Structure 1
Amino acid sequence: MENKILYWGIVAGIVLIAYIASLVARRLLNRIIKRKSENLREDPTKFVFLKNSTSFIIYSVALIIIFMITPALNDIGKGLFAGAGILAATIGFASQKAFSNILSGIFILIFKPFSVQDTIEIKSDMLKGVVEEITLRHTVIRDYENRRIIIPNSLISETTLVNSTIVEERIKKHIEFGISYDSDIDHAKAIIQDEICKHPLFVDSREEAEKNESSPQITMRVIALSDFSVDIRAYVWTNSNDDAFVLQCDVFESVKKRFDREGIEIPFPYRTLVFKNKPESNK
């Protein structure tokens, strides 16, 4: 009886030590993350990943020690080894996804397709947001509705990503407008250019030589002659994806008001109905 109490006391002590060690380690790493990422401006991804890996490693070591020093668990271990073939197959099948997520998390840390605070887009799921956290199992993304999307690392490794921050945040946004066939294309282009250029988030990307030659600040093209509209696309530079979204919304509103004032029609589908009178039958 005393031996059992001693064994379980040791087990409880190991669990308590593991808990305290994990708590202390995470707090220390939190301080390191804050200092490194803010003061030294280093990438915080590796520190966040290490913080989440620390608890896993500490508890794994504690579990191994418990198996080694507790006779009751040694007996269980012997029983498990008796059916090692079936057990290995079962565990391997059940934990395949878990290990896949862990390995994918390690590959994300090593090869860095994205980091914490990067803006990424997952094409397959039409998901776009900011990376908040990378753990052993999953990645947390904050979308533009302030929701947290939790995605297993294995799924992220198998899909196509668009990283808007990996080299530079500045992007070229395509903003499209449709005008009627009766409207003046040159006048419409002049309105669009004027409204975009005076927006505070617009970035003039011209080289010095282009500025000296008075080249247009914005490139615009007629990209299609659709069934009901002439489609014009403006290629607009901004400093970030967030700025591009705000600029696009503001420009849609200001251009629509200018179009209304200056007689540029934004078309909508027309239908022409023809009614034919049937000839009267001879009586």
Structure 2
Amino acid sequence: MEWLPGGLPEPTEFGIAFVVLVIGWFLSKLVVRLAGRTVARRIERPSVTRSALRGIRATVLVITLAVVAAILGFSGTSILLSVTVISAVVAVVLAPLVGSFINGLFVLADQPYEIGDMIEIVDEGHRGFVEDITIRYTKIFTLENTFIVIPNSEIQQRDVVNYSAEDERTRLSITFEITYESDLEAARRGAARAARQVDNVITGGPEIRIGSARYPASPTCTVAEYADDGIVLELYVWLQHPYNQTRDLSAVRTAVRERFQSLDVEFAYPHRHHVFDETSGVPALTGDGGEFVDAPADAASPSGSDSDLSRNPDADAESNPDST
């Protein structure tokens, strides 16, 4: 190979290298397209399939870059030295990125969630569908029509709830309070029947097994607590799909309220009664600013005799001359 002054390759070699680079770029896309179906048939998980195809394309691009380097006259020693320097820079400067790569491998291996699953990041309160899983990050499409990109190094340290793993049925609870005067058994039966009217609620069937525990499939209402203002009831329902929990819970609450209107059941709410008797104090106003102060021990009480003693005799004499 002939070199120009200064040790640079000839312009024709730059042209050949550019053509090889373009061909390698399109060849990587073609290889991914041809191998995509075969890889998808052998690998059931979409996230692993995408990662494998990205690896195949990266391999083709690396080979293309090696051919381009050979055309431009870079020797194996120069390439090895360049790789060593780049590796040192990556180790020092790009350590978080390397951590994301490693954690991405753990995410793909542990299978905590898959593309299309509905998950919730507990610490952040974000809930949505997994759009993509790469070696570096996880992309979530939230219910608010926004995208969240979380590095795998961070998502590995957070609590993730997967609503779509294996079984989409989800058990939720609704708490409400009824008065002590209400018919307790009628309220429990009415709440369970009202929940069965909602479309996405499982109305019955065999018990649902979660681990070693078994739960009734139909709605169940239990007494949770005897509170100050009423009896707290908790209604448990199973949803067939977890994707519209807010709408389904609203529908259940509406159905329960409509059912209670036809029964002898009232929702409880705080009541406050103020009782005054002969021992109750009388608030007094000061002359400065109208602030309330504690009434003296001999202050007037609501009774008639005490209030008469508290009057000013001179004022009474002026208002009623006949009394003198």
Task: Specify the alignment match of 1:175 in structure 2.
Answer: 174
Q: What whole-Å deviation, never above 9, does each CA across 1:40-69 have from its counterpart, x for those lacking one?
A: 994323212223333433333434444454
CA gap of 1:216–1:122, structure 2 versus 1, over 3 A, is closer
CA gap of 1:10–1:271, structure 2 versus 1, over 3 A, is farther
Larger radius of gyration: 2
Distance 1:193 1:161 in 2: 31
Distance 2:221 2:258 in 1: 20
Task: Specify the alignment match of 1:211 in structure 2.
Answer: none
Q: Report the 3-state secondary structure (helix = DSSP H, G, I; strand = E; otherwise coil) of the residue aligned with 1:124.
A: coil
- Report if aligned partners of 2:200, 2:239 keep a CA contact under 8 Å in 1: yes
Q: What whole-Å deviation, never above 9, does each CA across 1:75-94 have from its counterpart, x for those lacking one?
A: 9879979x95xx76543132
For structure 1, the residue ranges without an aligned partner over 5 or more in a row are 208-214
TM-score normalised by the chain length of structure 1: 0.77
Give the superposition deviation at 1:193: 0.9
- Report if aligned partners of 1:53, 1:135 keep a CA contact under 8 Å in 2: no
Give the superposition deviation at 1:140: 1.5
Task: Specify the alignment match of 1:268 in structure 2.
Answer: 269
Task: Specify the alignment match of 1:62 in structure 2.
Answer: 64
Task: Specify the alignment match of 2:24 in structure 1.
Answer: 18
Q: What whole-Å deviation, never above 9, does each CA across 1:9-68 have from its counterpart, x for those lacking one?
A: 2331232123102222343355557x74xxx99432321222333343333343444445
Task: Specify the alignment match of 1:238 in structure 2.
Answer: 239
Task: Specify the alignment match of 2:141 in structure 1.
Answer: 142
CA gap of 1:59–1:181, structure 2 versus 1, over 3 A, is farther
AA of the residue aligned to 1:223: A
Task: Specify the alignment match of 1:212 in structure 2.
Answer: none
CA gap of 1:226–1:56, structure 2 versus 1, over 3 A, is farther
- Report if aligned partners of 1:29, 1:47 keep a CA contact under 8 Å in 2: no
Aligned residues with identical type, % of pairs: 24
Please give the residue correspondences for 1:1-283 in structure 2 after superposition, counting only pairs within 5 Å.
Answer: 3-28=9-34, 31=37, 36=41, 42-71=44-73, 90-203=89-202, 204-207=204-207, 217-242=218-243, 244-271=245-272, 276-278=281-283, 279=299
Give the superposition deviation at 1:130: 1.8
CA gap of 1:216–1:134, structure 2 versus 1, over 3 A, is closer
Q: Report the 3-state secondary structure (helix = DSSP H, G, I; strand = E; otherwise coil) of the residue aligned with 2:144.
A: coil
Give the superposition deviation at 1:183: 2.7
Q: Report the 3-state secondary structure (helix = DSSP H, G, I; strand = E; otherwise coil) of the residue aligned with 1:98.
A: helix
AA of the residue aligned to 2:250: C
Distance 2:258 2:75 in 1: 76
Distance 1:149 1:89 in 2: 31
- 165-174 or 240-249, which deviates more: 240-249
AA of the residue aligned to 2:156: S
Distance 1:7 1:32 in 2: 37
TM-score normalised by the chain length of structure 2: 0.68
Q: Report the 3-state secondary structure (helix = DSSP H, G, I; strand = E; otherwise coil) of the residue aligned with 2:235.
A: strand
CA gap of 1:41–1:64, structure 2 versus 1, over 3 A, is closer
- Structure (1 or 2) with the greater helix fraction: 1
Q: What whole-Å deviation, never above 9, does each CA across 1:223-242 have from its counterpart, x for those lacking one?
A: 22334342211222222212
Distance 2:122 2:111 in 1: 18
Give the superposition deviation at 1:156: 1.8
Q: Report the 3-state secondary structure (helix = DSSP H, G, I; strand = E; otherwise coil) of the residue aligned with 1:17.
A: helix
CA gap of 1:8–1:251, structure 2 versus 1, over 3 A, is same
Distance 2:273 2:64 in 1: 79
Distance 1:120 1:139 in 2: 12
Distance 1:216 1:49 in 2: 39
CA gap of 1:149–1:30, structure 2 versus 1, over 3 A, is farther
Q: CA RMSD in A?
A: 3.7
Q: What whole-Å deviation, never above 9, does each CA across 1:124-172 have from its counterpart, x for those lacking one?
A: 2222222121122211222223322221121122222222233322222
CA gap of 1:9–1:226, structure 2 versus 1, over 3 A, is farther
- Report if aligned partners of 2:187, 2:265 keep a CA contact under 8 Å in 1: yes
- Report if aligned partners of 2:20, 2:64 keep a CA contact under 8 Å in 1: yes
Give the superposition deviation at 1:254: 1.4
Moved over 6 A (4+): 72-81
Q: Report the 3-state secondary structure (helix = DSSP H, G, I; strand = E; otherwise coil) of the residue aligned with 2:123.
A: helix
